[in-house]
Amino acid sequence: MEEFKEIYKSDIKKLKDIIKIINKKLNENKNIVKKFDLRKKFTGVLGEAIALVEIFNNCGESIKYKWKGGKNKDFDLALFYNDKIKKIQIKSSSAEDYNFQIMTKDFDRKLVKDLKKKNLKKVFKIIHKNIDSKDVDYWIFVHVRDKNIFYLLNKKQLIKLLKRVYKNYVNKERHHKYTNYGIDNSGNIRFMLKKVDKKTSKLLNKYKENWKLLTKELFN
């Protein structure tokens, strides 16, 4: 992990200041923000910064924080405490009806066909295999609002959630409103966790502000 950048308390303080400045400017210039959809364009970087600050607030100074962000294939942040390492991926959305996206990669064409055929058993196997193989321990979803909302899930919880997303999609008649996954020509699959899908939203709410999941495993 030599290529990772260590994060210090002073960095977090500066991040807080930057977040305040950006939000202040966005709120002061609502017309231009709306015209160029700037809040959406800022969401990725701003969401990561907001998540870092919140993780630091919950986990404290005794942990070593190492950051790589979007340059890394799987996780964005690694937390070190004694002999423990926990890896985190951050996802963010500023939309009123949030849309968090989980990308799964490198499936062969047969498995993609199974997905399109809506074969639940085979698709559940795809989801489980892909998420389980990721070098990530936790996913943090940040709903960027005036009062930010955080959702924290481990692998088992995310697998359960994605299965629910796919099952909801298969059972919907009006698929255009609940388009919960997409497939590109390379066989990559993008799952979308949308607030408009009430069942998915209800399940995701179980993991709201779930910081004890992380701190318990780190410190115990």
**pLDDT, block means (10 residues), the chain with 220 residues:** 83 95 91 87 87 96 88 83 95 87 66 67 82 93 92 95 78 53 64 78 92 92
Neighbouring residues of 76: CB distance < 8 A, sequence distance ≥ 6: 48, 67, 68, 69, 70, 88, 89, 90
pLDDT value, residue 110: 64
Strands (E), 46-97: 64-67, 77-81, 84-93
Residue whose structure tokens are 């994605």: 162
pTM: 0.87
Give the residue extent of every domain in the chain: 5-219
Class of domain 5-219: alpha beta
pLDDT value, residue 65: 97
Q: H/E element holding 5?
A: strand 5-7
Q: End-to-end CA distance of the chain, in Å?
A: 24
